């Protein structure tokens, strides 16, 4: 079912946890709510579920305003970060708990539980207790319990936060397959950028109770709308300069800024893979010193320092790295091939006077 949030605000005392947030979740979509601790993402999830009452604003599910409906009346499945399984009940009864509340017949309930045990790859574990399961198995039981009454919407709060990295990766892949099979409108909260980008069809980024940006993982990563998103999603070099003759001057670096007045301070961002580094000092116009080399498994990260004292990060794959003979301390040349001018916090995206679009673009090495 489609979910629509309009002007949602939640205050606790004098503090605003969520401020005037609006967005739409399309039917069958898997949406990630991403942000640091205290950004308001979990509060939004709890407001949609009916576990919190909004201070103002409206929530619609399948076109119906649900502000005054109870949790049970909203037909929502909720998965908590720390499983919240009943320790004294076996897996079968944990999954069947919601069905018992809804007064399903014993026969229908048993059939549904067996169906979910198979779907969740938990066959043969119905008689075990939560303490006899692995973390990944416990989380799958929690999701099965939420799905048992056939909810219209599935909400998950940091669903993989309580398991280790290897199990978390496996659960991500499993969740994608599960969503493909069930096509249930789903929202999940996470502070893990990689998790949000890998699992979500679309991401909404929160900061300090406000919606910073919504879009596909590629859009949010490649075209951050705000300084916060640029800094929070992935790694980005961010430098600040002053406009002179429609160019942002950052030491010896220049970035086109059409339509911007002289003297204006602007921040420019570029991803590490848009910073090309060569051991040949003559290959590129800009010069620097190689400070550090970091091995990342599938890639290398290089840290360079310009004569102006800028510390910049580059990233290249192993094949590219092996074409050069980099040594820490050596002189290198570099070029920035793509950039984006970032609005500072509280500012609207800067628009080019000719295109009417955010100022971004390629640079010639």
pLDDT in tens, 141-200: 999 999 999 998 999 998 887 677 788 888 888 889 888 888 899 999 999 999 999 999
Helix (H, G, I), strand (E, B) or coil at 16: strand
- Residue range 233-240: mean pLDDT, rounded: 92
b/e 319-341 (16+ beta carbons within 10 angstroms → b): eebeebebeeeeebbbbbeebbb
The 10s digit of each residue's pLDDT in 86-101 is 999 999 999 999 999 8
- Residue range 262-286: mean pLDDT, rounded: 93
Taking the CA atoms of residue 294, residue 296, residue 299 and residue 302 in that order, the dihedral angle to the nearest 10 degrees is: -20
Q: Could you tell me which residue, 358 or 258, shows the higher pLDDT?
A: 258
Q: Where are the alpha helices (DSSP H) in 251-339?
A: 318-322
pLDDT at 354: 39
Look up the pTM and report it.
0.85
- Answer yes or no: is pLDDT of 361 > 90: no
- Answer yes or no: is pLDDT of 365 > 70: no
Q: Calculate the CA 232 to chain-centre distance.
A: 9
pLDDT at 34: 96
Torsion 210-216-217-223 (CA) sign: negative
Band of residue 108 on the pLDDT scale cut at 50, 70, 90: very high
pLDDT at 364: 66
């Amino acid at each position: 079912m489609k979910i629509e949030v309009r002007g949602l605000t939640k205050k606790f005392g004098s503090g605003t946890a969520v401020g005037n947030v609006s967005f739409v979740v399309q039917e069958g979509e898997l949406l990630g709510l991403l942000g640091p601790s205290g950004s308001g993402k979990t509060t939004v999830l709890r407001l949609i579920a009916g576990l919190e009452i909004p201070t103002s604003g409206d929530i619609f599910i399948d076109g119906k305003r649900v502000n005054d409906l109870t949790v049970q009346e909203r037909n929502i499945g909720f998965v908590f970060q720390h499983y919240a399984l009943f320790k004294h009940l076996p897996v079968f009864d944990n999954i069947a708990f919601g069905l018992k509340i809804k007064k399903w017949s014993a026969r229908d309930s048993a059939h549904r539980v067996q169906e979910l045990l198979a779907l969740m790859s938990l066959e043969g574990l119905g008689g075990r207790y939560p303490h006899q399961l692995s973390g990944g198995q416990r989380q799958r039981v929690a999701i099965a319990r939420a799905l048992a009454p056939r909810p219209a919407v599935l909400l998950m709060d940091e669903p993989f936060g309580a398991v280790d990295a290897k199990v978390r990766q496996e659960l991500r892949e499993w969740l994608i397959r599960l969503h493909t099979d069930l096509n249930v409108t789903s929202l999940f909260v996470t502070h893990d950028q990689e998790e949000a980008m890998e699992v979500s069809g679309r991401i909404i980024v929160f900061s300090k109770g406000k919606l910073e940006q919504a879009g596909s993982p590629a859009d949010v990563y490649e075209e951050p709308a705000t300084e916060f998103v640029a800094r929070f999603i992935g790694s980005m070099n961010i430098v600040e300069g002053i406009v002179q003759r429609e160019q942002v001057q950052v030491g010896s670096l220049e970035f086109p800024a059409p339509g911007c007045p002289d003297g204006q301070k602007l921040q420019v961002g570029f991803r590490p893979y848009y910073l090309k580094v060569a051991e040949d000092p003559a290959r590129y116009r800009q010069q620097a010193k190689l400070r550090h080399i970091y091995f990342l498994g599938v890639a290398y990260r290089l840290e360079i320092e310009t004569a102006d004292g800028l510390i910049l990060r580059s990233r290249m794959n192993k094949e590219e790295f092996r074409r050069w003979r980099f040594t820490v301390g050596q002189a290198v040349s570099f070029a920035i091939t793509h950039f984006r001018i970032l609005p500072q916090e509280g500012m609207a995206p800067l628009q080019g006077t000719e295109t009417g679009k955010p100022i971004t673009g390629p640079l010639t090495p």
